[in-house]
Amino acid sequence: MASFKPTKVQFLPKLGEKVTEDTLYWKNYKSPVQIKEFGAVTKIDFSPLAPHNYAVTASTRIHVYGLHSQEPIRSFTRFRDTAYGGSFRGDGKLLVAGSEEGLIRLFDICGRVALRQFTGHSKAVHVTSFLSDGFRVVSGSDDLTCRVWDVPSAVELSSITEHTDYIRALAPSKLNPDLFVTGSYDHTVKVFDMRSGSSVMTMQHGHPVECVLLYPSEALLVSTGGRYVKIWDLLKGGQELVSLKNHHKTVTCACLSSVGNKLLTGSLDRHVKVYNSSYKVVHNFDCDASILSMAVAPDDEVVAVGMTNGVLSVRHRKHKKDKETLTSRRRRGPSYRVFVKGKNFVPRQDDFLVSKPVKQYLRKYDKQLKSFEVSKALDTALQMWTRTSKPEVTVAVIIELNRRGTLKNALAGRNEESLTKILNFLLKHIFDPRFSRPLLTVGDIVLDLYRQVLHQSPVVERQLQRLMEVLGREAELQQELLQVLGILDTLFASLTPRKEVLWEEHCPMSLNNHCVSVSSVSADVCRI
Amino acid sequence: MVETSDIRVVRCGGSKVNLTPPIISSDSRFVLCTSGDLVKVYSTRTEEWLHSLQGHTNQVTGITLNPANHLQVYSCSVDGTVKLWDFIDGILIKTFVIGCPLFAIYVSEKHTGVLFLHVSMATDSKNECFQLVSVHLPKSAEQEVEAKEMSAVSSHISKNPSCTAFGRGGEYIAFARHLQLNVYFFRKQKTYSFSLKATDKKGAKNAFTCIACHPTDDCIATGHEDGKIRLWRNFIHKKEYTYSTQHWHHNAVNTLCFTPEGTHLLSGGIESVLVQWQYGADNRKEFLPRLGGSILHISASSDGQLFCTSHSDNKITVIESSFKVCGVIQGLVKGDAVLTDLMIDPRSKALVLNGKPGHLQFYSLLRDKHLYNLDIVQQEYIYEAGLDQFEVVKAAFDIKGSWLATVEERGKKSSDLEFFLKLWAFDERTQSFVLNTTITAAHTDRIISMCFSSSEETTMLVTAAEDSQFKAWCQGADADTQQDQNFWSCDFVGSYHKLNPTNCSFSADSSLLAVSFQEVITIWSPDTWEMLTTLCQPPGVIRDLCFGRLSCSKYLLGTTTKNLLCCWNLLTCELEWSTSVDVSKLQPDPFSENVAAFSYQSKHTDLFVFKPSEPRPLFTNKNVCSEKVHRAVFVPREEPLNSCDESTQWLNRSQLYFLTQNMDLLTFSTATEEDRMLSSSKQLVIDDSVAVTPFYLLLGKHRQQQQKLNTQSHPVSDKPQQTQGSVTIKELLHTPAHVLPAASVLCSMFVNSFLISNTGVQQDPLR
């Protein structure tokens, strides 16, 4: 005796989203830890040295956090006005920051008072950084100048005025201590060489540049500004490689992951997007507010995001160890011991085994189908749709009823309330091409069954009116699509026959069928 | 043309086991059922086929236990004989020649020496009128007896054998036809008849479908076409009969059976649910659902411990009295039609075709045994007449047997066709096929033809459908993720002037793909998907396509609907030769160049075997069978024959099986093959006698002593041997007959013991 075979629910793959190793890697983060700062977080920088503390610049303070601490380890508060662009030196011992009043301060990581102050800028300094030799500091300011300072003597080495608007982005080269890249609101990105004392390369970004970033090989340069992220090839003389437009508001920050150099960008539209090596978006982090700054810890242990509302959100990577400890703790529980009692008994050779029949668990609608209660099964399936919003289960039950030839029986003899449920389901899903075929049959049967009594209920009548509208719109849309296909056909007819074969896939025919069936039902509805 | 007599058509395994009710031996150890012109004996415990009773020359139509000796069984056949067998040893005891085709047999304890048989009335047309006759068996010691003493009990009875039953130890016999129930009382020599109205008020159909009589009570249970069961009582007085009605079955009741004690009534129908009604308390019933195909017959063992149901899917189920299935004997399932081609599973070398609804069956031809069913549709089967069910219509194996592609279809009658293309991967661990990919809308219309590429490295599937397209499907290689996926996706879509494709085929090295579009054959290169050339020989739509193999791989064969068999040379792209033959099936042999073509002309089928390189056939067999042949397959042999005869050479490496429209599975056998089989069976008999008989141990000891004596003292005279031999004879003759084994077993030994041994003389020249 074979057992009852349950209804097969068709698994429908979600379009567009594909599970790749990248998505799995980036999904593997814990839910974010929120830390409240005093103002908008404008800059986050990780220390390159081992504990990988990070400096967060917000309002008039710079806080240094440990990787897992939620309280600042150290804070620098000697700013009279808003501080900007706190960044570490290559050995993680010094920190430099600009400020609204134009002063640049240099701190020892262990001290509280500024070791040096560089004065010279007449307006706010938004970006500061050490050059890779560690003895010089470069800064970009709203007074349109870029200045290089000597750390030991605290004197200005040079000042370059080539930009025509505020300088808001800066990236020093790690390989050459004389090179740095700046981005400005005058829509340009410039590469400066300290040896010549002027820019050696200029690239037109086309929008005010918010952030520039160099790849570790320093052959590629990333600039963000407006809604665009652009990748430039420096070895080809600053040729534009890719232009990405995945955000719908200004992209404010970009950084690279240390594993595989994947690009991450954050934007005012509250999303962080992760790109793979062919610059397709593979993952997306959602945040509560517009993002101003972002940084990734070495080994991608932490993703820290700073927002306009002063919240710093820190995501930690999940580790396998955590999971194991969780499960092992669960295993120690007494309930499991009771549960497993006798299950791990190994029979001896001459033992006679009596196998216990495995009980088949059925879903509720399957149980009802097993006992041929078709109306109840349909009710259960509709209920499941409202509870779990899985229309494919309901459609699977409808298809099964149709296969058994009892769909009409299941739909017949319903009152106003249960009929509205069915009509609601139809309204929501009838134009979904994956479900339209069985649902159009349902629509046909409902109209056939209740043709006489429809006018008695205003609710049902209103729903039918809406159904007619929906179907009419759908038919119109299909017709338009067919017209487009016709246009395309004439275009492709002039091409080579090989191309024609490739393009003809099965969409035109299926669309055609779909359209015809949709219009037939809508005609039915119209008649009523 | 070569006409030979040493190749003949033989019917091979897979005949119906569900034609008649199976019977269970009184010790519940054996189940007997008819299967073609054999009676097969199965074990109830192990479901193994033990042996068969061979002797009838036509379809066996009925078997019944001999009421006088429960180790014997009567069988009747269309060849006009009734045979009495000892079914445990498989020995034919007696043959009664009746002389006219027999269709059913009934016996009763009360009527010893009398058989009741269904015979067709000779004067009328065959299927319409049947007669129930009683035959007195003459007492005679001869093997073959003519039994001519017939007397008619009733004429005009139903052709359905289950509409006749003996009641209450044989006091009366009840038989029904259409709307009339007749009861014949042997003592009164009178027939009472009771009739029902053609239709009730509710439009129910009242015709009788089956009858069962209570073993101890005066009660007749009848089944009806509308699913009702009526229990008739008090019919001894014609006027005052009563009946009560039970209704559970929603369709015709196929069979009824009382348990031997009469406590329960079993019924079955198309729903495939075995229903057990308690006799007396009619509302209490038990169910055993989902047994398989619709139930055709039910029988109970004499001790009431076991029930047997036979089903329409050629299956016998053994059920314990506690309503638990304890055994299934499955024959080759032959539905109304074989929709898939006959195929050979490259791994198990089993024959594969569609079996139960929604299943593919694997059948071992060598052992004549059903191996397993593969559930393709994976849906609950609803047993209801006239319901449009999913059927497996196409299936194909790749060359290594690691992939299986199937197409299931529903909606032949209605306009909206539903079909799925499924791909199954062979799982080494479970030794079975596992579903890999389901493609819901592979084409927009019905798939007509499907084939796998024949190369070992890359597997590719090509489907051709009525939407005037063919598609190539490949495993994995999706450009987006750059990972090796293990599911299948569409690789190429091709079409030719919006014509509907009719067939597709890969060449032996799968470097070419031929797709026929109506009258035109297009040749494609699967590597680049370039159309290389078109071949055309109007008029007539291309029906079959196949490439030549091995040395003939440059040829492409095609058959058209206008009775033309064409052979193209692919190097010159020209027609090499063509003949006018109406080919219904073209089947290439995968192991040689040979191609078999079945042609149907003037109501009989001819077979031609030829090589594509020459238009002269190697072998011709006229009048293979009288029906059209649409399915055929070459099955590789386990060990090749080495016949040198030109006409039988084509059967050396593989065997040709074919299926006629009557669903008979036939094959060709050669003289050498039969010789080999015969010799092996002889060997078996001798081995058997050594192993089985305890008596042999006794004799064998003497024999060994004899041989020892012989080797020790062969120059000595034969005297001591003679005394030894006489001891044996003495022993044999003085043992009581009831402890002796069958005479056939002892015979050779007995005769041997008379012979003067000459082993010593034989050994001398060898030395």
Which residue's structure tokens are 């081995």? B687
A363 contacts chain B (CB < 8 A):
no
Q: Which residues of B touch A3 (CB under 8 A)?
A: 290
Q: Which residues of A touch B390 (CB under 8 A)?
A: 403
Determine, for residues A506 and B288 on separate chains, whether the beta-carbon distance falls below 8 Å.
no
Nearest to B631 by CA among B341, B353, B393, B416: B341
Distance CA(A412)–CA(A374), nearest Å, equals 11
Cβ atoms of A470 and A427 closer than 8 Å:
yes
The interface residues of chain A toward chain B in range 382-401, judged by CB-CB distance below 8 A, are 400
Quick check: pTM over 0.90?
A: no
B291 contacts chain A (CB < 8 A):
yes
Which chain A residue shows the shortest CA-CA distance from B327?
A1
CA distances B452 to B324, B402, B426, B518, B689, Å, are 43, 11, 15, 21, 51
Q: Say whether pLDDT at B588 is over 70.
A: yes
The interface residues of chain A toward chain B in range 64-123, judged by CB-CB distance below 8 A, are none
pLDDT tens, residue by residue, B713-722: 444 444 444 4
Which chain B residue shows the shortest CA-CA distance from A5?
B380
Q: Which residues of B touch A506 (CB under 8 A)?
A: 441, 443-444, 467, 469, 493
Q: Which residues of A touch B515 (CB under 8 A)?
A: none
Determine, for residues B444 and A400 on separate chains, whether the beta-carbon distance falls below 8 Å.
no
Residue B620 phi, psi dihedral angles, 5° rounding = -130, 135
pLDDT, residue A507, reads 40
Q: How far is CA B471 from the centre of its chain?
A: 36
pLDDT, residue B4, reads 43
B388 contacts chain A (CB < 8 A):
yes
Instruction: Work out the pLDDT band at B761, boundaries 50, 70, 90.
Output: very low
DSSP string, A337-386: HHHTTTTTPPP-TTPPP-PPPPPPP--HHHHHHHTT-HHHHHHHHHHHHH
Residue B79 phi, psi dihedral angles, 5° rounding = -75, 0
Q: Which residues of A touch B481 (CB under 8 A)?
A: 18, 20
DSSP B205: B
B515 contacts chain A (CB < 8 A):
no
Q: Which residues of B touch A4 (CB under 8 A)?
A: 290, 380
Residue B436 phi, psi dihedral angles, 5° rounding = -110, -50
Q: Would you call B443 helix, strand, or coil by DSSP?
A: coil
Q: Is the peptide bond before A298 cis (omega within 30 degrees of 0)?
A: no
pLDDT, residue A512, reads 45
Distance from CA of B254 to the nearest CA of A (A): 19
- Residue B401: both structure tokens together: 């047997």
pLDDT tens, residue by residue, B191-227: 888 888 776 666 667 888 899 988 888 888 999 888 8
Q: Which residues of B touch A18 (CB under 8 A)?
A: 480-481
CB atoms within 10 A of CB B620: 15
pLDDT, residue B445, reads 86
A506 contacts chain B (CB < 8 A):
yes
Distance CA(B339)–CA(B405), nearest Å, equals 14
A369, A501, A506 member nearest B494 (Cβ): A501
pLDDT tens, residue by residue, B592-605: 888 899 888 878 88
Mean pLDDT of B549-571: 86
Determine, for residues B481 and A18 on separate chains, whether the beta-carbon distance falls below 8 Å.
yes
- In total, chain B counts a number of residues equal to 767
Distance CA(B446)–CA(B465), nearest Å, equals 5
Q: What is the mean pLDDT of each run of 10 residues along chain A (528 residues)?
A: 78 68 85 90 89 89 88 87 90 90 90 87 92 91 91 89 92 91 93 90 92 91 92 90 91 89 92 90 90 90 92 88 58 63 77 79 90 91 82 90 89 90 90 86 91 87 91 92 92 66 41 47 49
Determine, for residues B493 and A1 on separate chains, whether the beta-carbon distance falls below 8 Å.
no
Determine, for residues A505 and B416 on separate chains, whether the beta-carbon distance falls below 8 Å.
no
In terms of C-beta distances under 8 Å and separation of at least 24 residues, what long-range contacts does A478-485 make, across chains too? A478/A511, A478/A514, A478/A515, A478/A518, A478/A519, A479/A515, A481/A511, A481/A515, A482/A508, A482/A511, A482/A512, A482/A515, A485/A511
Distance CA(B50)–CA(B525), nearest Å, equals 53
| HSE of B501, CA atoms in CB hemisphere, 13 A | 30
Determine, for residues B444 and A5 on separate chains, whether the beta-carbon distance falls below 8 Å.
no
A1, A10, A405 member nearest B387 (Cβ): A405
Q: Which residues of B580-589 are buried (b: 16+ CB within 10 A; e: fewer)?
A: ebbbbbbbbb
B177 contacts chain A (CB < 8 A):
no
Q: Residue B756: what residue type?
A: I
Distance CA(B736)–CA(B742), nearest Å, equals 13
Angle subtended at Cα B111 by Cα B109 and Cα B112, rounded to the nearest 5 degrees: 80
Nearest to B258 by CA among B179, B192, B169: B169
Nearest to B105 by CA among B143, B142, B137: B137
Q: Which residues of B touch A6 (CB under 8 A)?
A: 380
pLDDT, residue A333, reads 56
Q: Both ends of chain B: CA-CA distance in Å?
A: 52
Distance CA(B161)–CA(B580), nearest Å, equals 48
Determine, for residues A510 and B467 on separate chains, whether the beta-carbon distance falls below 8 Å.
no
Which residue's structure tokens are 């830890």? A33
pLDDT tens, residue by residue, B232-254: 888 887 778 888 888 888 888 99
Q: Which residues of A touch B444 (CB under 8 A)?
A: 506, 509-510, 513
Q: Which residues of B touch A509 (CB under 8 A)?
A: 444, 467
Mean pLDDT of B417-430: 90
Write out A39-52 in H/E/C secondary structure.
CCEEEEEECCCCCC
Residue B317 phi, psi dihedral angles, 5° rounding = -110, 130
Q: Residue A98: what residue type?
A: G
The interface residues of chain B toward chain A in range 113-142, judged by CB-CB distance below 8 A, are none
In terms of C-beta distances under 8 Å and separation of at least 24 residues, what long-range contacts does A452-459 make, across chains too? A454/A528, A457/A416, A457/A419, A459/A416, A459/A420
Element (H, E) at A436: helix A436-450
pLDDT, residue B708, reads 52
B380, B416, B493 member nearest A501 (Cβ): B493
Which residue's structure tokens are 């077979």? B607
**Would the ipTM clear 0.85, i.e. be above it?**
no
Element (H, E) at B469: strand B469-475
Any idea of the CA torsion for B528, B532, B537, B543, to the nearest 10 degrees?
A: -10
B440 contacts chain A (CB < 8 A):
yes
Q: Would you call B757 helix, strand, or coil by DSSP?
A: coil
pLDDT tens, residue by residue, B623-634: 888 888 888 899
Distance CA(A256)–CA(B552), nearest Å, equals 63
Distance from CA of B353 to the nearest CA of A (A): 21
B290, B440, B443 member nearest A2 (Cβ): B290
Q: Residue A262: what residue type?
A: K
* pLDDT mean across residues, chain B: 81
Q: Is the peptide bond before A216 cis (omega within 30 degrees of 0)?
A: no
Q: Which residues of A touch B443 (CB under 8 A)?
A: 506
A513 contacts chain B (CB < 8 A):
yes
Determine, for residues B290 and A1 on separate chains, whether the beta-carbon distance falls below 8 Å.
yes
- Indicate if the alpha-carbon torsion angle B389, B393, B398, B400 is positive or negative: positive
Q: Which residues of A touch B388 (CB under 8 A)?
A: 403, 405
pLDDT, residue B767, reads 41
